[in-house]
Structure formats: C-alpha cells, structure tokens
Amino acid sequence: MGGTAARASRPPVRLRLAALMLALAVAAAGAAAAPPSLVVLVDTGTEMPMAAFRENQLVDGMHHDLGLALAAALGRQAVFLGLPRKRIGMALEQGQADLICMYIPAWLPGNFNWSQPFFPLREVVVTDTTVPRPAGLADLKGQTIATVLGYFHPELERLLGPGFVREDGPSSSANLRKMAVGRLHHVVTQQSMLDYHQKTGERLSVYPPLLVKSYQGQCAVSPRGQVSVEAINKAIGHLVKDGEVARITARYQ
C-alpha cells in the first residue's frame, strides 16, 4: 500500500518531462540573451589616467572607458585582460584577446590589423620653474630629461642626437613626483598624464609644456579574434561622431 501511495504522489511522467523541457528552454533563453564578449587587452604597467587596476582587475581609466564604449557599440560585453607589456604581442597574435587600443604600429610589431587613427595623444616635455624656461626642444640638448624605462622617443633622439640625456624611471607619475621635490627638472610624458597629475596629485609649478609630437592612437586587432577590423572601425566612427571619445578624454583633464 505504501508503494502504491508513493507512486500516486509523484506527478505523471508527462508533467515531469514538461517541467524539464521548460527549465531547459529557460536556460537556453538565458544563454541566448547574454551578449558575446569583446576581450580587451591592457598593459598592467599602465597607470592613471590610462588605467587603474585593483586586485588584477581593470577598474578605471581611459582604457576601461574606451573598452566599455567599443563593446557597447558592437553589442558585446567588455572583458578586460591585463598582461605585462612583454606578453601583449603574443597574446594578441594567438587570439587570447580581440584588441588593444591607444597604440600605434611602431610600438607593437606583429601580424595585427590596425584600426583607423582616432584617439588623440600628445607627447610633451614639461619643465619646472626653478630653472630657465626652454624656448624650444633644442634648448634641452645636454640637459637630463626624465624618461620611462623601455620607452623610446625617436623625435627627441633625432633632434637632440647625443645631447638627448635620459634618466630612466619606473613610470611617468614617479618622474613627476621627483620633479615635485626638486630631484629633476625636465620630464617627457603624455599631456593627459600631466593634466591628471595637476588635477589629482601634488600640483607642480611648471612652464607650458613643449610639444614633442601630436598623434592619434589606434587599436591593434587580433587576426584570430572574434571581431573584424571593419567592425571595429565602424564602432570607432560611431564613438567619434557621437562625441564619446571627447567625453572620455575630458573626464580625466
């Protein structure tokens, strides 16, 4: 009798099958609703205003904002992959990520598809006011200029020749902090880095910076990634036209 009662208490087989099919359909619908990803590479050595990492996760900065904007324009979900600079080229060639942005081909040799130039960047030399103001870059010949280890400055090398005297530091922000305490007087950096330091750090007494070069960053697109360079260019065109690129840069000035 107990067995008969137990059988009677269970729902009919067709109802159990219907419930199972409904659960599978709901799960499938949820999976279908999730947007595909856009895997964005970021150099873990990058600092604000370009990038900020917390527990190895990208949480702020221009790379973060641009990655989110590009993914949204493509109908995708941004996923950020932070790697040391030396591993970025190989990861992109192998398709571990879809792209890295705010680069130019000279910085990243390899078999990549390059987007159109679009992200404004300015390399400058800034001088503090405790020394005479240089009238131009040529006046810096023979004077020590703070640079970042591993970065190249071909324009300064061509102009100053052997008179381009480098003092390598770990980062632009470290160099600007050294300037603040009088340990050095000339720093080559990005205008955005200087603007951000003046906004958030110990404000420097400096002359108007001297322009080294003004250019537009691009995105290196993996040939083995999920997104074509044509799709990236279309998304970039939308962000530029919509003013989103200008809003990203303005946020950190």
Domain range summary for the chain, segments of one domain joined by +: 2-33, 37-119+217-251, 121-214
CATH topology of domain 121-214: D-Maltodextrin-Binding Protein; domain 2 (3.40.190)
**pLDDT for position 16:** 47
* pLDDT higher than threshold 60 for residue 8: no
Rounded to whole angstroms, the Cα distance separating 40 from 53 reads 14
Rounded to whole angstroms, the Cα distance separating 44 from 84 reads 5
To the nearest whole number, what is the mean pLDDT of the chain? 89
Tens-place pLDDT, residues 148-171: 998 889 999 999 999 999 999 999
What architecture is the 37-119+217-251 domain classified under in CATH? 3-Layer(aba) Sandwich (3.40)
Q: Fold identical between 37-119+217-251 and 121-214?
A: yes
Tens-place pLDDT, residues 173-223: 999 999 999 999 999 999 999 999 999 988 999 999 999 999 999 999 999
